[in-house]
Amino acid sequence: MTTTEIQNSIIEEFNMFDEWLDKYEYIIELGGELSDYDDKDKTKSNLISGCQSRVWLNAEFVDNKVMFNADSDAIITKGIIALLIRIMNNRTPEEILETDLFFLEKIGLKENLSPTRANGLVSMIKQMKTYGLAYKALRDSKK
Amino acid sequence: MTTTEIQNSIIEEFNMFDEWLDKYEYIIELGGELSDYDDKDKTKSNLISGCQSRVWLNAEFVDNKVMFNADSDAIITKGIIALLIRIMNNRTPEEILETDLFFLEKIGLKENLSPTRANGLVSMIKQMKTYGLAYKALRDSKK
Amino acid sequence: MLDINKIRNDFPILNQKVYGKQLIYLDNGATTQKPNQVIDYVSEFYSTINSNIHRGVHSLSGKSTEEYENARLTIKDYINANSEKEIIFTKGTTEAINLVASSFGEEYINEGDEILVSQTEHHSNIVPWQMLCKRKKAILKVVPVNNNTEIVIEEFKKLLSNKTKLIAISQVSNAFGTIMPINNIIQKAHKVGAYVLVDGAQGVQHFKTDVQYLDCDFYTFSGHKIYAETGIGVLYGKEELLNKMPPYQGGGDMIKTVSFEKTEYADLPLKFEAGTSNYVGAASIAKAIDYINSIGLDNIYEYENDLVNYARKELTKIKGLKIIGSPTNNTSSISFLLNGIHHYDAGMILDKLGIAVRTGTHCAEPAMKRFDITGTIRASFSFYNTKQEVDELCKGILRVKKMFD
Amino acid sequence: MLDINKIRNDFPILNQKVYGKQLIYLDNGATTQKPNQVIDYVSEFYSTINSNIHRGVHSLSGKSTEEYENARLTIKDYINANSEKEIIFTKGTTEAINLVASSFGEEYINEGDEILVSQTEHHSNIVPWQMLCKRKKAILKVVPVNNNTEIVIEEFKKLLSNKTKLIAISQVSNAFGTIMPINNIIQKAHKVGAYVLVDGAQGVQHFKTDVQYLDCDFYTFSGHKIYAETGIGVLYGKEELLNKMPPYQGGGDMIKTVSFEKTEYADLPLKFEAGTSNYVGAASIAKAIDYINSIGLDNIYEYENDLVNYARKELTKIKGLKIIGSPTNNTSSISFLLNGIHHYDAGMILDKLGIAVRTGTHCAEPAMKRFDITGTIRASFSFYNTKQEVDELCKGILRVKKMFD
Ligand SMILES: Cc1ncc(COP(=O)(O)O)c(C=O)c1O
Ligand SMILES: Cc1ncc(COP(=O)(O)O)c(C=O)c1O
């Protein structure tokens, strides 16, 4: 599936919920299911500081695909990370760079992406793009 | 006449005017009639600076009475000075210190006495009181 | 007794729904809401008398100036300053503290001098002193607080010496609502010749402050935390001190005369008010104080005290909820944690229930560090809040707990 | 063409009588009036979404923050800055200039360096540089103006050297309405490696300003002079420069992390915005810009230009009236004298006729000294003024003359 298709299916999933709390309950669920993040990767250089919640992100480049791993101390942030990973993980650098993350607005969770919300998510997305850019350059330089 | 009596008669004079412009015309007239101020007394130490108009004030102490002389470069200020001199001139230090200048409010010219109007009048009145205080001290010290 | 229904009607913002739920605004420590008396006054000001103040010869300018200078008098009376010359308008508490750090610092702080702050100060009462200390090679020392978020007076006494030049301390801690023993601190400070700045941002709106009785050297607060507009605040300083301090910013209004050869600065208070002042904001503080006086500051204190005690009691009943500190003297703010639930998560869900609380470090990172936490959930109260709202908060917290279990 | 009746209806303050006479407000250089679009927005803000900005997790805080940050974007577009990081909110022009004098001065000005200002600058664009020069042992040099109140470019070129580090110049002189040749000045300055601060307080509201096209290093203006609230202003600075400058004030919001060991400052623009910003004021600037855009800045320019030309022509017809300077490029303000009549006297009487003008030095004493006068009468115009009002001004002046003859 393309990143757009995944986003559309996320939007569909969220359309099921009428109530705000139900949406958040689902996000919390997703946050709980996010695959384990290795504590040894909770390094300072992987830390994306936000005032409100902290986010850790690391990435590997395998077979021209970027593999992301991320975590947060707040579970709602973690739930949104789970959605972001679902869309962005295991993608080529080009896909990562081209993806426009429209789903958060559509599911009414745009507020979580306000730069001033300081939960670390905006910086995390920036960081994902930066990884995309870096791995692209790395790959191209090896050609 | 006491300073209160003079103020009351000034208030009566101004009661004749219905129009603002007439009041000011009268003040301008008074300003024109203010007795000449010696140019050599326009010294820096006699200058009371206001942003809007400048005021010069000097005083002498004769027979236990304070004699004031004052001038301004703006004629409206000068007109109000004329009224102040009429009330405060040739008075004992005690009279000067005790006088409450209520007439400006009563004739609707209080605005001219706003400290932030910066026409020098507030400082001038303060200065008159200071002269009163100084001459009183001087006199008492000689007793 | 306050007529709470009448009061709540004065605050239009309270009467609204958030995510379909009635708004419960418990973020008064961050900023207070404004009564119609203030909002309408601001509109009226701009609609009828607005004009730049000072030195204007025309009628509107005179009226605007009068509102501005009368506000200074109202504030002088409210905190019982000795003279209106001691009331300087600033952008807010932060600017007021920076002004003191810069101007007082320039004149009074030298290499090796010591400045004391408490461990629970707001960043605005830490960073300006750090910057000053760096500039002047002075030393910033930290007075610790105990587990109840109270200043440890014994430690304070140990840190105090004749090297101490200034103590900068909040009247009420914004993170925990702790009322600081500033009376005691000021007396002890003066004995060694140190000056005291009291950051009153969280005190001035809750109980009577008398700067002459306290004998503090500086006192600061923000308009937006006392029911007035944003973008305006007050620095009180003792006249004698302010006179000795060099001006802070330069520009219009703070000068007597300007020439390229020699510029003379204006007298107090204008000396510290460069540029067009926020005269509407300043006047809005007076209107807010009028409003407070119409209710009665003592009545407010009593009501809020009762409310906060109730909140502390009710919150304590919730399993897994831990209030940070139970200071003997406290007011307005309660900081707490929920076992196993991140403060951000809790705040997000409470918001969805219509309940506005603040989460995070509350601009007091060192205080968080002291308690080895990354943040708290803070509910902060005003006299327009009710016990019913406290009950809703408690219910909301139970709901949050259920969601994260 | 402007629909002037509709426009005047937007400004409630204009529709009033002063001393029984219809108000004619010609003091727009001191401050502009506010349209209902701004006044109502401010009320609405306080009545529905007010909450402290940044870092709040609750809904109102998010909305307030959004208004604030969107205002930054609106302003960025209005002056065509490259990035919203270059838009710093300050109290006003005066604070913006002080910020640059302090922070840029700290980093870039050293002993013996030279700073140039023009002879007709506002005190706010003189005193901060005097203070900086004193602090740093730098030298303030003055670029003279000719009898038409225009910068003498030949003299400017003579003063410019590779010792020159900064030129601080107004876009439009507030005392005389002269449009300064800032384009030319900026180009020449950059050739010798000097930076340029443009004080746009009297320019930004009258014609299109493009900071990237101008290539100025700093640009400043005040909200209250562009139809927005008092107590808010803007500093534009090139990102690269702002990044290199140390912070100005310390406190909440301008930090990344605070500890007693080490404090890290926030990135632009927050690095320069210590304390609770005047977020309502900032948002009011955006609303004022929306209003200006709804009329069209080019239309405004054309209308005002026509109006001021008319005023110059009509005033010139009055015997004994002398306009100070007839600069080729001018806008908005006209300063004049009446033979044998003190400016204060004239202003007082005009006020009684309902006409609000400013008199005195207009916070530009050195400019007065240049023309060997103690002050002027200044009429300053906005797009809500009319030719009819100009006629009333002229009639008023004739009345004044009659009274003092
Ligand atoms: C050219 C100029 N510069 C600076 C200022 C100062 O602006 P503010 O008082 O809003 O800081 C003014 C306003 O009087 C001005 O006209
Ligand atoms: C105790 C304390 N000090 C200082 C401040 C800073 O006030 P402002 O942001 O209004 O400058 C605050 C407000 O957050 C505070 O609570």
What CATH number corresponds to the domain at position D378?
A: 3.90.1150.10
Domain holding D88, by residue range, is: 39-293
Looking at the fold, whether C60 and C86 belong to one and the same domain comes out as: yes
Say yes or no to pLDDT of D68 above 90. Answer: yes
C380 CA to centre of ligand 2 in angstroms:
14
Closest-approach residue (CA) in chain D for C21: D59
Confidence of residue B119 (pLDDT cuts 50, 70, 90): confident
Query: What's residue A5's pLDDT?
Result: 96
Q: List, in sequence order, the alpha helices (H) in D79-181.
A: 93-99, 105-108, 127-136, 153-159
Percent of chain D whose pLDDT exceeds 90:
97
Say yes or no to pLDDT of C349 above 90. Answer: yes
Who contacts D304 (Cβ-Cβ below 8 Å, separation ≥6)?
D206, D331, D332, D381, D382, D383
Looking at the fold, whether D239 and D133 belong to one and the same domain comes out as: yes
Q: Which two tokens stand for residue D85?
A: 């990081």
Chain B partners of C66 at a C-beta cutoff of 8 Å?
114
Query: What's residue D194's pLDDT?
Result: 98
Residue in the block written with tokens 């600081």: C180
Chain B partners of D359 at a C-beta cutoff of 8 Å?
52
Q: What mean pLDDT comes out for the span C102-121? A: 98
User: Helices A20-33 and A75-88, interaxial angle, to 10°?
Assistant: 70
The whole-angstrom separation of Cα D41 and Cα D51 is 15
Query: What's residue D360's pLDDT?
Result: 93
Say yes or no to pLDDT of A115 above 80. Answer: no
ipTM entry: 0.95
Looking at the fold, whether D94 and D142 belong to one and the same domain comes out as: yes
| Least distant ligand from the CA of D54 | 2
Beta bridge partners of D264: D257
The 3-state DSSP class for residue B27 equals helix
* CA distances, D188 to each of D163, D185, D192, D196, D210 (Å): 14, 5, 7, 10, 18
| Range in B49-53, C161-165, C240-244, D256-260 with the lowest mean pLDDT | B49-53
Looking at the fold, whether D173 and D277 belong to one and the same domain comes out as: yes
Q: What mean pLDDT comes out for the span D224-239? A: 98
| Range in A37-51, C316-330, C339-353, D319-333 with the lowest mean pLDDT | A37-51
> B76–D348: do the CB atoms touch at under 8 Å?
yes
Rounded to 5°, angle at Cα D134 from D132 and D135: 65
Q: Of the candidates B52, B115, B44, B123, which has an alpha carbon nearest to the alpha carbon of residue B84?
A: B123
Say yes or no to pLDDT of B48 above 90. Answer: no
Average pLDDT, chain B: 90
Query: Which residues of B are marked as active site?
Result: 51
Pocket around ligand 1: residues whose beta carbon is below 6 Å from it? Answer: C 252, 275-276; D 92-94, 122, 124-125, 170, 174, 199, 201-202, 222, 363
Looking at the fold, whether C267 and C387 belong to one and the same domain comes out as: no
CB C329 within 8 A of CB C177: no
pLDDT tens digit sequence for C52-96 = 998 788 999 999 999 999 999 999 999 999 999 999 999 999 999
pLDDT tens digit sequence for D98-144 = 999 999 999 999 999 999 999 999 999 999 999 999 999 999 999 99
Does the annotation mark C363 as catalytic?
yes
Query: What's residue A119's pLDDT?
Result: 74
The whole-angstrom separation of Cα C113 and Cα C69 is 37
The whole-angstrom separation of Cα B93 and Cα C320 is 77
Query: What's residue B51's pLDDT?
Result: 67
- Mutation probe of ligand 1 site: the residue of D32, D221, D225, D361 with most atoms within 8 A of C-beta: D225
DSSP per-residue letters across C329-381: SB-SEEEEEETTB-HHHHHHHHHHTTEE-EEE-TT-HHHHHHTT-S-EEEEE-
Looking at the fold, whether C256 and C230 belong to one and the same domain comes out as: yes
From C260, C293, C326, give the residue that closes a domain: C293
Query: What's residue D84's pLDDT?
Result: 97
Confidence of residue A116 (pLDDT cuts 50, 70, 90): low
Chain D partners of C355 at a C-beta cutoff of 8 Å?
58
pLDDT tens digit sequence for B36-45 = 898 899 888 8
CB D250 within 8 A of CB C131: yes
D177 CA to centre of ligand 1 in angstroms:
13
Chains that touch C (3 or more CB pairs under 8 A): A, B, D
C281 close to ligand 2 (CB < 6 Angstrom) = no
Say yes or no to pLDDT of B112 above 80. Answer: no
Q: Of the candidates D53, D98, D81, which has an alpha carbon nearest to the alpha carbon of residue D283?
A: D53
Looking at the fold, whether C280 and C349 belong to one and the same domain comes out as: no
Looking at the fold, whether C315 and C268 belong to one and the same domain comes out as: no
Confidence of residue D269 (pLDDT cuts 50, 70, 90): very high
**Catalytic residue, candidates C133, C216, C363, C394:** C363
CATH number at residue C211: 3.40.640.10
Q: How far is C200 from chain D (nearest CA, A)?
A: 14
Q: Indicate the pTM of the whole model.
A: 0.97
From D248, D266, D293, give the residue that closes a domain: D293
Looking at the fold, whether C367 and C344 belong to one and the same domain comes out as: yes
pLDDT tens digit sequence for C167-203 = 999 999 999 999 999 999 999 999 999 999 999 999 9
Number of structural domains (chain C) is 2
CB D157 within 8 A of CB D164: no
Residue D187 dihedral angles phi and psi, to the nearest 5°: -60, -45
The domains found in chain A, sorted by start residue, are: 3-141 (3.90.1010.10)
Average pLDDT, chain D: 97
From D257, D276, D293, give the residue that closes a domain: D293
Q: What mean pLDDT comes out for the span C120-147? A: 98
Phi-psi region at C137: left, alpha or beta (left = phi > 0; alpha = psi -120 to 50): left
C153 CB neighbour count, 10 Å cutoff: 14
Q: What mean pLDDT comes out for the span B83-110? A: 93
pLDDT tens digit sequence for C308-332 = 999 999 999 999 999 999 999 999 9
Looking at the fold, whether C321 and C262 belong to one and the same domain comes out as: no
Query: What's residue D296's pLDDT?
Result: 98
Q: What mean pLDDT comes out for the span B119-131? A: 88
Which of B49, B52, B116 has the CB atom closest to C65's CB atom? B116
Looking at the fold, whether D14 and D133 belong to one and the same domain comes out as: no
Say yes or no to pLDDT of D26 above 80. Answer: yes
| Range in B49-58, B113-122, D41-50, D160-169 with the lowest mean pLDDT | B113-122
Looking at the fold, whether C190 and C90 belong to one and the same domain comes out as: yes
The whole-angstrom separation of Cα C69 and Cα B115 is 10
Residue D380 dihedral angles phi and psi, to the nearest 5°: -125, 135
